[in-house]
Structures are given as structure tokens and as C-alpha cells.
A and B are shown apart, each in its own frame.
Chain A
């Protein structure tokens, strides 16, 4: 049995016939070809799959596509506008906040959500708020620096 799921992804309305067990991350990667959202674990712990659903960061491997019916979804592909990186993407590049880059899409989506809720976060807040995102390469130091700088850039 399949069901019809409609949502807005990066500003575009999309409808697909999917099995009810389809995860949002599979919907994005396999049905829409948006492979910027990564899958790093099978245990809801690594945060490589973080996207925004109606403005809130969620682990797209731990929500069914059906649960996002009617929602507004933003993925890493939806951040840059008119060929310009989002200020948080730019800060990650500037501060060398990635090595292999696998965790980066999720880190950036979590970072933007945290800055939207705390426009001027302390370093401690940034570290606490990134508890749902694991990075095996960087040791987090430059990620925290980039998020602080990205927050400043987002404040404008």
C-alpha cells in the first residue's frame, strides 16, 4: 500500500506516492534526489540528517515522511540564495569548520536553528545545543568558532 504525501521542500511543493514506512530522509534523498542530507547512523544519534520542519530542526531519519505531510521543509540545498551562501555556510568555510564534511549539512542546519532561538549564544550554549550532532574529524573547536561567527553574521 502507498500513500500520497505532499509537502513544501525548499520552497517547492512536491507530492510523491510512498510507502507509509518511508522516512523523511529517504523521501528527500531517494524520492527527490536531495542527497545533501546525510545518514550517518541508525540510532538517531549523529545528527547528519538534520533538516528543518516548519522551522524546527529535526532528525529526518527519525520522522516519517507522512508526519511531514503539509509541512514546510528546508534542507541544506535550500539555504543558499541567488548564488550566495547562507551566512552560516560562509562561516563554516571561513573558519575551516569541516574536514571530511560528512557531518556538515546537519551541523549547519542545527546551528541555524540554535541561532534562531538564541541570536547571541555563548560558547557554552553553542556546545550544549550541538549535543545532537557528532563530528568524527574536527574535534568541534572550529565548528564552535564558526557557529559563533555565523551567529554574528546572521544578526547582521
Chain B
């Protein structure tokens, strides 16, 4: 790891100022992605700005219509929250399957979506539930947030503060985990929301995406059978040592059917 300066501001304003005055600043939340990256010398920031000292970024609140989770809330807290389990069980289940207990004890929601790893879990819930991402500057709709492989709509220095997940009528999430890392090979988040049926697929392509053909089929008939016969084109799917594009395309159908079953309970 290259040397850097470390800061732990206690307000959002100070964090934003520290970043803009650094020659190459990076925010740090749980560090479960950033520290491995630094250890491999894939990044060499001049300044690391720890966001976990900002009290308002952490915590879970549940209203009648939404579950709102602060950016530095750890995966383990979401997985264990009785309120989240009751309001959106699929979201608690997703959090409980991220990595391993030690990763869940450090990793955060904000870090996960800001990083937008194609194999990350949370992006599927954000897109599948039509969530709203709040930052220190504005709000961003899920459909506009994830823009490409490791790319988001966040501007330089913009800080995710919280994510507001509307409570769906029902939802299910199933992933085929990589057996070594538990990262997503292919996952599907299916939800019946106020905006209709949403199917978000992660792990399969370079970026989480909505499967509109499946959404249309499920809108007519919300059952696993409705997805039979829908083929997913392997063109553009991820192809690596873990799985070929063809295999991933096949898994999209399998995971989506299982997610519908999970949503039906």
C-alpha cells in the first residue's frame, strides 16, 4: 500500500471540503473494497477521508411506505434489523448473503453502490425496488444511478448519504454465489411495486440491468411459469473464469424464476 493522509471528519461539509482540497482524495466507508484495492496498489490516493465519523450517515428508519438506510450502515446491521426483515424481507436476506460475517461487519450500503461492482448484491435491490439515492447534493432515481461497469451517476466528490427503498407489495432476491468469494455470479431481484413489476439482474452483465421482457410477462401473470420460454441473449454478458456468457444467460432465467418463487413466499 502506498502512503496517504488519513482524515476522519465529523460533518458532511468537512468531508466534502477535505476531498476538494486533496490532490487525489478518496472516501473510505467499510474499506472492504477500497483497502484490498490499495493493498494491491491499484490505487494511490493522496488522502483517505473516512466517512464513518459522520453520525447522520448511519442508521435505519422505517416509515409506512419506505425503508431508509444511511450510507455507512453496515451489511450486518441491515441483515439483523427486525424492522427491515418485517418491511422488506428480501432486502434483509440480500444483506445477510453478502460475503461472509467479517465482510458484513465492516462493509456498507453506500460503499457497495458507489463502487457498482457488476458482482455486487445491493445494486439489484436499489434498481429492483425503484429506490432513490440521496447524496449531499441531490436525489438520484435508481434507473439513472448505475451507468456502467464500476460507473455511477455520482460526480467527483459527491457523497451518498442514504437510500430510500419504497416498501413493495412483495419481493424476492436469489443469487448464484461464486463458491469462493460469495460475490454474485448471477442474481435476480424481482418486486411488485407501486410502479409495477421490476426485475433487476446483477452479476450477469457489466452493470445491473432491468429485464423488461420478464417484467412484461410477470405483469400479466406473477408466477414462475410466466418466465418459461423467455431466453436471455448471451451477447454482452460477462465471460470469465467463473462462468461463460452462455452459462450466465441461462442462470438469469433460473435465478429469476427462483426469485419469483421467493417473492410468492
Contact = CB atoms under 8 A, between A and B. Distances in A.
Nearest to A20: B6
Interface in B162-198: 180-182
B210 interface: no
Contacts of A43: 36
B76 interface: yes
B103 interface: yes
Interface string A26-62: 0000000000000000111101001000001111011
Contacts of A56: 76, 105
Given A113-B101, A131-B100, A63 B31 contact: yes
B52 interface: yes
B150 interface: no
B8 interface: yes
A135 to B, nearest CB: 14
A57 B2 CA distance: 26
A57 B74 CA distance: 13
B142 interface: no
Interface residues of A, number: 31
Given A19-B3, A66-B8, A47 B100 contact: yes
Contacts of B52: 67
B106 interface: yes
A50 B106 CA distance: 12
Contact of B99 (A1, A23, A66, A132): A132
Contact of B102 (A1, A3, A23, A58): A58
Nearest to A51: B102
Contacts of B5: 1, 20
Interface of B: 1-6, 8, 28, 31-32, 35-36, 38-40, 48, 50, 52, 76, 80, 99-103, 105-106, 180-182
8 contacts: A21-B2, A42-B40, A44-B35, A56-B76, A62-B35, A64-B31, A113-B101, A131-B99
